[in-house]
Each structure stands twice: as C-alpha cells, then as structure tokens.
Amino acid sequence: MRKWLLAGVVLAALAVVVVVAVRMLMPPPDDLDLARSKPSDGGTYVVSVEPEAEPVERGELHAWIVTVALPDGSAVADAELTVDGGMPQHGHGLPTAPASAGHIGDGRYRVEGVRFNMGGWWVLKFGISSPAGDDTAEFNLVL
Ligand SMILES: [Cu+2]
C-alpha cells in the first residue's frame, strides 16, 4: 500500500517536471507583436520603449527609456509609471521590481532595475497616470 502511494507521488512529480519543461521549451507565438511604439490600450497615450543599451543581455540589470506622448504627439512630462511583466509561457513575473526614476525630459522616463533572467518571451506592462488619464500599455520582447 505504501509502495503504491510512493509510486503515485513520484509519478505526479514527474508529470509536473514534464509539464514545466514543455512550457519552458515552447517557442514564442509566431504572430507576436514586437512593436516598440504603440497607442496605449485605451488610446490615451502613444507609448514607446527602448532599452537604454542594445542588445539586452540576459541576466544583466539595465534600464529602459519609456516615452509617453499624447496622440497629437505632445510630450507628457507629468506621468507616473508603474511597471509589471513576466513570461506568459512560464507563468512567472519579473525577477526584479523595476520602477520609474522619473521624467528625464521630452516625455521620456527612465525605468531602472530591469533584469531578464532567462531566454524566451517576456512581456513588459506599464501603467501610466497623468492628468490626461490612467491607461496601460504592454510590450513583447523575445530574448
Ligand atoms: Cu521564464
């Protein structure tokens, strides 16, 4: 009886390992939108992102520059940004807690403390608040 229970536990653990391994090895979807500039989800802003230095190296702490404008192109200098994200295919979030270090001019914000600790499909999600409104924007990245 005990043996069967043990075998069941081992099998269940193996099944978990296989499921995780398959998820880790899944290629990103072919039709992933890799645009680095787009309207925010509600259309309040046009948001552009770029790493401070290219290429982005796996495992390295680095910064991104996020540019926030109104649809008419005028820079938004008084936005508050929040940063979230993760790996949709792995079911985990960001390994660090990146944050905006503030406005550096022309609607640009420096987001510090970004680190991607593995290869694959990453999503960066920004929350943007300013007198123009609250909105969100998501960007895909494949490392
Ligand atoms: Cu992952």
Helices marked H in 26-136 — which ranges?
A: none
The pLDDT tens digits for 9-58 are: 888 888 877 777 777 778 899 999 999 999 999 999 999 999 999 999 99
Are the C-beta atoms of residues 137 and 45 closer than 8 Å to each other?
A: yes
User: Could you tell me the distance, in angstroms and rounded to a whole number, from the CA of residue 17 to the centre of ligand 1?
Assistant: 14
Rounded mean pLDDT of 50-76? 96
Query: How do the domains of the chain map onto residue ranges?
Result: 30-142
The pLDDT assigned to 46 comes to 98
User: Could you tell me the distance, in angstroms and rounded to a whole number, from the CA of residue 87 to the centre of ligand 1?
Assistant: 5
The pLDDT assigned to 5 comes to 84
pLDDT, greater one: 70 or 23: 70
Name, in order, each residue with C-beta under 8 angstroms of 60's C-beta and a sequence gap of 6 or more.
Answer: 115
Q: Are strands 133-142 and 92-93 parallel, antiparallel or unpaired?
A: unpaired
User: Could you tell me the distance, in angstroms and rounded to a whole number, from the CA of residue 120 to the centre of ligand 1?
Assistant: 7
The pLDDT assigned to 8 comes to 83
Are the C-beta atoms of residues 67 and 48 closer than 8 Å to each other?
A: yes
The pLDDT assigned to 49 comes to 98
The CA-based diameter of the chain, rounded to the nearest angstrom, is 72
Q: State the chain's mean pLDDT as an integer.
A: 94
User: Could you tell me the distance, in angstroms and rounded to a whole number, from the CA of residue 138 to the centre of ligand 1?
Assistant: 17
DSSP 18-56: HHHHHHHHPPPPTT----SEEE-TTSS-EEEEEESSSSP
State what percent of residues in the chain have pLDDT above 90: 80
Listed range (12-16, 49-53, 78-82, 112-116) with the worst mean pLDDT: 12-16
State what percent of residues in the chain have pLDDT above 70: 100
CATH number of the 30-142 domain: 2.60.40.1930
Rounded mean pLDDT of 72-85? 98
